[in-house]
Chains A and B, each alone.
Chain A
Amino acid sequence: MEISTALVLNAIVAGLLLGGFYAAVSVGISISFGMLDVVNIAHPAFIILGSYVAYTVHERFGIDPIAVSLVASPLYFLLGMAIYRIYYLCFERRGQESLRGLAFFFGILFITEVTLLLIFGVDYRLVETSYSSTTLRLGVVDFPLRLVVPFAVSMAMVVGLQLFLARTFFGRAVLAVAQDQLALRLMAIDPVRIKEYAFALSIATAGVAGAFLIVIQPVQPAIGREYIGLVFAVCVLGGLGSIWGTLLGALILGLAESFTSTFFGPSWAPAVSFGTLLLALAFKPSGLLGR
């Protein structure tokens, strides 16, 4: 195969667009797992839930799925609060969060899947938006709007989250929860409340990422499981608890996948992605931007 400039440029753009989507599906895990120490294995199920909510509203009212997800994000936030409250009362408060908490989130994963299965059936669902079939062409480089729109919203979401966590009192409190809960209590801040809000934030991002997913590819209730490995890989590569790290990790994995698929064969993509992860961890065990 002849390696042309067009092929390289398109591989870069495709990798970045894919990385943007990976960042959106992973940023919630970075908060819950990286900052709060909550191993939310059900995260992909909330992504799929977000996909189906976007799908349903789009089917009924014709509203753009990504707009739906942004409007519905307060509801995902409330759902996240409720789930964390149950998790806290049943497991974390009793110091049983490690194994039983993991089983709890596995349970949520299966319950969400089965509920979606009962409501929507087993067929694949996809949303055809007004921009789904449009590709912008700048010179030799293609920009399929099906990926560009989720990328743009994902970037806004990730950067917004980073600014929110870095520059607000609440954000700093979340970062403090990850480091020293006792110190936080001494400053008259309730770490449980902070964790509750932060966890809810992570679920809200999952819901929004779900809308991206159904714009990009067909979805069925059990498809979320395919993303479990990926979201944790992105977070670990970037550095647990670092939003910028998650973004960087997602873009690196997106680029690795795109370049491998283009120049070496797509079946090598997972090996190259996870090889990159292992290599990065060998030199920097805390992840690229981890502390």
Chain B
Amino acid sequence: MKRLTVWLSATIALVLAASAQAQQPLKIGFGMSLTGPLAGNGKAALISMEIWKDDVNAKGGILGRKVEFVYYDDQTNPSTVPSIYNKLLDVDKVDLVVSGYGTNVIAPAMPIMMQRNMVFMSLFGLNVNSKFSYDRYFQIMPAGPEPAIDWSVGFFDVATSLNPKPQTVALVGADAEYPSLALEGARANVKRLGLKVVYDKSYPPNTVDFSPIVRAIQATNPDIVFLASYPPDSAGMVRAVNEVGLKTRIFGGGLVGPQFASLRTQLGPLLNGIVNFESYTPEVASKYPFLDQFLAKYQGRAIKEGVDPLGFYLPPYAYAMMQVLEQAIKATGSLDQGQLAEYMHKYEFDTFVGKVRFAKNGEWSIPRMLTVQYHGVAGNDLEQWMKAGNVTVLYPASYKTGDVKAPYQDNKK
């Protein structure tokens, strides 16, 4: 009788504990840039992730647990990142972590992730894992297995497809993490293609007037100008290029900014002729069959919250990042970090941005960033960007919608 009582008590305790566990929310922690220079992207990513959370919770959560976010504003400041992730893991006791937006805030979290053996799903970090080689790092930007190089492959392949083949190139970018990595990759592509570098310099991110830089580039008379920049300097460089009347055959490559509504509406026709990267554009909507459902939800919320009302560049991928985690947890039935990492390396994921498979270094196994050229932009209204018409997809071949128009100034006529 005594044994039966002990057995019954233990069983009841276990059932109660299990039920308590089932009631506990599944906590996912992250830092996100909600203030500072990249807050526009950070807030857009957060909206997407919250849409995913609402969708998942509406279906009963994951492993029977409601999903809950614990997040802090990293102020777009890399020095805040380590303390945020330490707090998430030690104080908030989150079950999983994901990254905030961008290379600058992903890299400082890496040592902590490695120390704690956490799976680290990251959002648009360029080539972060090249220095860490961490086997539980995964990245949702479709840059490819050699991100720094793959990032500008499309731009340089398009540029060198011109007849006669361009011979000289100018490389320029901001003194910051992403532009430095993008320039590093561009140099590798330049070497591969046998181009001659006639200008290779960087500028401080808080530069006000870019016209002296553009004039210095013009003085070297390059066939190709590759620019890697963040939104404020993208705007400054584009304006300066138009003011100086830069004469080159191809200009663009790595501008962050023209992907977003704010810069598209502010710069308007000044964007004509620029060759740049995009992660999605309505011209290839047929390749992303389920994305319109997400964009409809996102755009409604984004307008209310005063962030990028287009949501083409980052938001679908922020949602896809969470879909990858969700599918891995459901398939393994576990939150064990080792099992999750193993599964994520082994299997393909179905997301709103298409099929995703990770390479050994956690990057996409096949690059799928689009190289596009803007054209026919008239005026500064947003409507023209909501539908197809102002963008030609040049690369990759399977997404191509037209040919590049060169030289650059011909697009201004």
Asked if A pairs with B, the answer is: yes
Report the tally of A-B residue pairs with Cβ distances under 8 A: 136
A144 with B243: CB separation less than 8 A: yes
Nearest-neighbour CB distance to chain B for A117, whole angstroms, equals 6
Partner of A124, one of B175, B206, B207, B262: B262
Q: Is B396 an interface residue (CB 8 A)?
A: no
A18 adjacent to B208 (CB under 8 Å): yes
Q: Within 8 Å CB of A132, what residues of B?
A: 239
- The segment out of B3-11, B33-41, B319-327, B367-375 that lies at the interface is B33-41
Question: Is A220 in contact with B212, judged by CB distance below 8 angstroms?
Answer: no
On chain B, the residues within 8 Å of A226 by CB distance are 206
CA distance A131 to B114 in the complex (A): 53
Q: SS class of chain A's interface: helix, strand, loop or mixed?
A: helix
Partner of A261, one of B34, B203, B231, B266: B203
Docked-complex contact B235 and A124, CB < 8 angstroms? yes
Q: CA separation between A64 and B117, bound complex, in Å?
A: 56
List CB contacts (< 8 Å) of B26-85 with chain A.
34-37, 39-40, 42-43, 75
Q: What's the minimum C-beta distance from B285 to chain A, rounded to whole angstroms?
A: 24
> Could you tell me the distance between the alpha carbons of A261 and B307 in the complex, rounded to whole angstroms?
34
B250 within 8 A of A: no
Instruction: Tell me the A238-291 residues at the B interface (CB within 8 Å).
Output: 257-259, 261-263, 265-267, 269-270
Q: Of residues 211 to 248 in A, which have CB atoms within 8 Å of B's CB atoms?
A: 216-218, 220-223, 226-227
Hey, what's the 0/1 contact readout for A113-154 against B, CB within 8 Å counting as 1?
Answer: 110010011111110100011010000001010110000000
Interface residues of B in 240-276 (CB under 8 A from A): 242-245, 260, 262-263, 266, 268, 270
- Closest CB of chain A to B407's CB: distance in Å? 19
Known: A2-B219, A269-B203. A123 touches B209 (CB 8 A): no
Q: Does B306 contact A (CB under 8 A)?
A: yes
Where the two chains meet, the residues of B that have a C-beta atom closer than 8 Å to any C-beta of A are 34-37, 39-40, 42-43, 75, 175, 199, 201-204, 206-209, 211-213, 215-216, 219-220, 231-232, 235-236, 239, 242-245, 260, 262-263, 266, 268, 270, 305-308, 380
Known: A144-B211, A267-B201. 16 other contacts (CB 8 A): A21-B208, A123-B260, A125-B262, A142-B243, A144-B243, A146-B243, A217-B208, A217-B232, A217-B235, A220-B37, A257-B209, A258-B212, A262-B216, A263-B216, A265-B201, A266-B203
